């Protein structure tokens, strides 16, 4: 029976949804290298084109992630979603719409740094630990300033959909994240009604967990175990 179950088991595709950054899908370079060795099927939709100043429709940014999910489902694959930063919000929106297996969020951007959150940090509610240096930037076009408005619209569209999540969910956040406060993951965890959920707070990690040499391989291993359960 176990042999037959394995023989007819549907393959699983991990759709990785990037955040609001110049690197777009290159944010997943280390994750891609790890899972390529594990023979995991990966998809990396690009949500926007920063070289096109008119690419500012938040629904289209979300739709590009949906198109990848639809492609994987149409070819008979099971789908798990992994969203980084803004991609975590988009992954939530997609998980509320499609029949996917699991949801993984890394530093999801349900709350982002504003003047009010900075005031809370200064008041002592957030104490950053060691901040890891960022890797050198590659030859990526800069993000147009007006794209920030689309970012906020994407968050507004996805945030209310947390209440619809009914699949196992895994969340990671760095305690020293100065881009997306850890409170953002607290909010996500508290508002997902499905009981099978887990949140990891990574001591001293910044926003770019996927690049962090101290944490990334452990995070990838936990993700691997989670999607294979």
Query: Per-residue pLDDT tens for 116-145?
Result: 544 444 444 444 444 344 454 567 889 999
Q: Is 3 contained in some domain?
A: no
Q: What would the two tokens of residue 210 be? A: 């996927």
Q: Is 66 contained in some domain?
A: yes
Residues of the chain above pLDDT 70, percent: 85
Residues of the chain above pLDDT 90, percent: 80
Cβ atoms < 10 Å from Cβ of 55: 15
Taking 80 as the threshold, does the pLDDT of residue 6 lie above it? Answer: no
Under the banding of pLDDT at 50, 70 and 90, the label for residue 3 is very low
Q: Which residues pair with 199 in a beta bridge?
A: 171
Q: Is 115 contained in some domain?
A: yes
Q: Is 45 exposed, middle or buried (0-12, 13-18, 19+ CB in 10 A)?
A: buried
128 versus 93: the higher-pLDDT residue is 93
Q: What would the two tokens of residue 194 be? A: 């499905």
Helix (H) or strand (E) holding 103: strand 102-106
The Cα–Cα gap between 62 and 158 comes to: 9
3-state secondary structure of 200: strand
Chain-centre distance for alpha carbon 156:
16
Residue 85 maps to which CATH number?
A: 3.40.50.1820
What pLDDT is recorded for position 5?
42
Q: By residue range, what is the domain housing residue 141? A: 12-228
What pLDDT is recorded for position 119?
44
What pLDDT is recorded for position 47?
98
Q: Is 5 contained in some domain?
A: no
171 versus 2: the higher-pLDDT residue is 171
Q: Is 53 contained in some domain?
A: yes
First to last CA, the chain: 18
pTM: 0.87
Number of domains in the chain: 1
- Three-state SS sequence of 145-173: CCHHHHHHHHHHHHHHHHHHCCCCEEEEE
What pLDDT is recorded for position 11?
87
Quick: pLDDT tens for 174-217: 999 989 999 999 999 999 999 999 999 999 999 999 999 999 99
Sign of CA dihedral 53, 143, 31, 87: negative
Structural contact between residues 77 and 100, judged by C-beta atoms closer than 8 angstroms: no
- Cα-trace Rg, the chain: 17
């Amino acid at each position: 029976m176990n042999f037959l179950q394995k023989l007819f088991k549907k393959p699983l595709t991990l759709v990785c949804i990037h955040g609001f950054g110049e690197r777009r899908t290159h944010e997943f370079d280390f994750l891609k290298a790890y899972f390529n060795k594990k023979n995991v099927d990966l998809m990396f939709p690009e949500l926007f084109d920063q070289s096109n100043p008119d690419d500012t429709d938040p629904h289209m940014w979300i739709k590009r992630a949906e198109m990848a999910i639809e492609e994987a489902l149409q070819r008979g694959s099971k789908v798990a979603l992994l969203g980084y930063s803004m991609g975590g919000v988009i992954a939530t929106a997609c998980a509320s719409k499609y029949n996917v297996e699991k949801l993984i969020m890394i530093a999801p951007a349900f709350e982002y740094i504003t003047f009010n959150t900075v005031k809370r940090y200064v008041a002592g509610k957030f104490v950053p630990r060691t901040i890891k240096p960022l890797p050198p930037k590659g030859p990526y076009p800069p993000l147009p300033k007006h794209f920030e408005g689309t970012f906020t619209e994407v968050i507004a569209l996805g945030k209310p959909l947390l209440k619809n999540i009914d699949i196992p969910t895994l969340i990671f956040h760095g305690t020293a994240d100065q881009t997306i406060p850890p409170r953002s993951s607290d909010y996500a965890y508290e508002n997902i009604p499905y009981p099978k959920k887990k949140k990891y707070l990574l001591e001293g990690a910044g926003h770019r967990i996927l690049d962090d040499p101290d944490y990334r391989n452990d995070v990838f291993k936990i993700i691997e175990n989670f999607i294979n359960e």
